[in-house]
Structure 1
Amino acid sequence: MIILLKLLIGIIVTLIVIWLTILNVSENKRKLINLCGYLLIFGGLIGIGFIPDNDYEDGTYCAEIHYYNPETETESKYFLPVFVKGGKLVKLQWSNDGWLDESHFKAPNISDGTATFTSDSGYEYKVELLNSKSKCN
């Protein structure tokens, strides 16, 4: 809701700039008001998803992973390296040198640091990034 409000304010400010241009207000004031309008519109567009807002750069992160097998009702928790690309979780690296990647699940959005997905085997995963560009201990 706040994002839409910012977008609306940005549009209103832009309309005011057009109106001030018609009234021949000084160039400096017009530029300042115009800049504020564009900043508000840009902030609103990021907030509603037109412009991606990836807080995590591409790379390896340590993550807490909650695993659940609904068939056996088995639950486990792991701390493993994961790979992020374009704001999506693309790979989990197991400690035995195995991995789980996009060939086994649809890469979920993890730009806010958390993601959930179900693998092609039906296992459910909840992933939370713990720290950036660091290996798990």
Structure 2
Amino acid sequence: MIILLKLLIGLTITLIVIWLTTLDVGENKRKLINLFSFALIFGGLIGLGFIPGNDYKDGTYCAEIHYYNPETETESKYFLPVFVKDGKLVKLQWSNSGWLDESHFKAPNVSDGTATFTSDKGYEYEIELLNSNSKCK
């Protein structure tokens, strides 16, 4: 999502600069347009750097977890610690000391703070990272 936002902003800046350079104006206005174009490009590049890409560093996060078992149509919601490594969700820690890890599911990308996956038993999970506290309240 963040990457798409950055691409959209970059494309918008590019189109504005192209439009400005095609205007038929006098030399003084042309210099002003060129200056404005450079400022827009430079400001846009700096601004794009301030849009966060992956706020979720390696570590433990509290997450809201929606669980669904399609066989029994059972649904549940949990708040549990999860572990993130290299932008991927790699482990869920259950309150009874059990866990789900990469041996139970393919680690999904969680760089935008959300992830969905299906476990090896066919259970469906939707995850939303909430904070960096290792203890969920």
Bin for the TM-score computed over the shorter chain: 0.5 to 0.7
TM-score, reference length from structure 2:
0.67
Displacement after TM superposition at 1:80 (Å): 0.8
Q: Distance in 1 between matches of 2:49 and 2:118?
A: 30
The Cα RMSD (Å) is 3.7
Q: Distance in 1 between matches of 2:127 and 2:70?
A: 17
Q: Distance in 1 between matches of 2:60 and 2:5?
A: 33
Match for residue 80 of structure 1? 80
- Structure 1 stretches lacking a partner, 5+ long: 14-29
Match for residue 101 of structure 1? 101
Displacement after TM superposition at 1:129 (Å): 1.2
Q: Between 2-11 and 55-64, report the one with greater CA deviation.
A: 2-11
**Residue type of the partner of 1:93?**
Q
Q: Distance in 1 between matches of 2:104 and 2:5?
A: 37
Match for residue 21 of structure 1? none
Match for residue 7 of structure 1? 10
Q: Distance in 1 between matches of 2:66 and 2:123?
A: 10
Match for residue 68 of structure 1? 68
TM-score, reference length from structure 1:
0.67
Aligned residue for 2:130, secondary structure, equals strand
Mapping of 1:27-38 within 5 angstroms? 37=41
Count of residue pairs the alignment pairs up? 125
Q: Distance in 1 between matches of 2:123 and 2:50?
A: 33
Mapping of 1:39-54 within 5 angstroms? 40=44, 53-54=53-54
Displacement after TM superposition at 1:40 (Å): 3.7
Match for residue 119 of structure 1? 119
Displacement after TM superposition at 1:5 (Å): 4.6
Judging changes above 3 Å, is the alpha-carbon distance between structure 1 residues 46 and 108 closer, same or farther for their aligned structure 2 residues?
A: farther
